[in-house]
Structure 1
């Protein structure tokens, strides 16, 4: 992704700031390899997706723009907002005004397991206070990068309630980071029909059994045969071709 144009230099610096790479020695317990792979839960950084998945997202956004794929960018499950901040920075530095970044989260952590998704029964994600990041905190993080503007739409609430009426008609990139079966299936069910042909679906947590089961069930139910491509040890994606 290295390029010496001002735009690319800005985006590279934005990644380093969001991932806290520049000051990594000051983040307790962090290592360069874990941050690169996205294997840690950072105490300070604004994203936990790591450098490999962040670089890959950059590649997908470039592909969307270069191939004139219509649609907005959405992330379901944003934590501290770092990935959406990078999406907004990408659009802004490229002067793109006809796409929005939709920031979808409960901003209250993950939901408790529900009877409608028995596979989630053993999930303890809802007990993880570390995963609860409030909307004001995420807004504050956008402001720190001077990227809090009308190019962002915040969608607060449980996915089953908010995504059916998500304020977008077409999606170019749907980045799903919900960990659980229910969260992943709700996002796929309500967003996939809006993903443009040539657009991308990114699954952040495919290494988690709940999430992988939802992806498999959804793809089988809808006869999706587009190749599921590995990004790193946990992330996968596919390109919608039909």
Structure 2
């Protein structure tokens, strides 16, 4: 390994560990934080109320929980303060895909649909920086208002879903933009697409993609992203589905789209939650 490669690997390893909260072993449970907002369990409702009340007096109530490195590796816990919940293996998947794109000179930009606090997109931008790539853009697509209410009449697979009630999934655009700035990675290669996917993705001025990472949870959000973006994915490019195992309706949307369009590329498991495939070249 030459010096430049070694430096890039060290930077990206440090960056991803920081983004997922593994570096500082972030595992506090904050009352009124992401683990309690909009939850139906009465204990979490009570905790959320207490946390919000304390917040009025600029007081934070948190209790310590043992940090489990294996859960953070697989993205199976929910860090309170870190800017990504995807875990180290799914971060490594992003890194590996971008390396293949750079080495293979696959043309196109990078996009994530559904960004939460922006961690995966920040990591995408950091990878481009590490490779000295000044041509590709990172598209940051989100409503920045959480998930929409299920439209069960048009998308029956989403019936009964309550993601829209989980207010911890709602992160404002300015917060995400600030998170990019904190890592020194906000510049003109980062483009925000604010709004519901059905409104923003079909008309987004994206010419070509090398990597698309879908994290919309719902069937509706996933199929809308595939419809608008997959035709723009270059041969040799990657399609990543964040919640392939945990969210059945997102997986169903992918199966339906792949069947409709005759897509047969192998779907590869990442960590027991996420999955991806590479578009045939």
| TM-score normalized by the length of structure 1 | 0.96
User: 1:238 corresponds to which residue?
Assistant: 277
Question: In structure 2, what is the Cα distance between the partners aligned to 1:27 and 1:165?
Answer: 41
2:249 counterpart SS class: helix
Q: How does 1:90-109 map to 2 (within 5 A)?
A: 90-109=127-146
Q: Is the 8 A contact 2:27 2:80 kept in 1?
A: no
User: 2:214 corresponds to which residue?
Assistant: 176
Q: How does 1:1-242 map to 2 (within 5 A)?
A: 5-24=6-25, 27-28=28-29, 29=65, 30-114=67-151, 115-207=153-245, 208-241=247-280
Aligned length: 241
Q: Is the 8 A contact 2:211 2:238 kept in 1?
A: yes
Mark the CA change 1:25 to 1:206 in structure 2 (over 3 Å): closer, same or farther.
Answer: closer
User: How far apart are 1:167 and its partner, in Å?
Assistant: 2.1
2:276 counterpart SS class: strand
Runs of 4+ in 1 over 3 A off after TM superposition: 25-30
Q: Is the 8 A contact 2:235 2:279 kept in 1?
A: yes
| 1:99-121 residue CA offsets vs partner (Å, 9 max, x unmatched) | 00000000000011112101101
User: How far apart are 1:80 and its partner, in Å?
Assistant: 0.3
Question: Which stretch has the larger CA shift, 181-190 or 4-13?
Answer: 4-13
| 1:184-223 residue CA offsets vs partner (Å, 9 max, x unmatched) | 0000000000000010000001121111110111111111
Q: Is the 8 A contact 2:138 2:189 kept in 1?
A: yes
Question: In structure 1, what is the Cα distance between the partners aligned to 2:27 and 2:269?
Answer: 31
Q: CA RMSD in A?
A: 1.5
User: How far apart are 1:70 and its partner, in Å?
Assistant: 0.3
Question: In structure 2, what is the Cα distance between the partners aligned to 1:104 and 1:76?
Answer: 5
2:70 counterpart SS class: helix
2:237 counterpart SS class: strand
User: How far apart are 1:84 and its partner, in Å?
Assistant: 0.4
Question: Which stretch has the larger CA shift, 226-235 or 154-163?
Answer: 226-235
Instruction: Determine which structure has more spread, i.e. the larger CA radius of gyration.
Output: 2
List runs of 5+ in structure 2 lacking aligned partners.
30-64
| TM-score normalized by the length of structure 2 | 0.83
2:266 counterpart SS class: coil
| 1:53-83 residue CA offsets vs partner (Å, 9 max, x unmatched) | 1111100000000001000000000000000
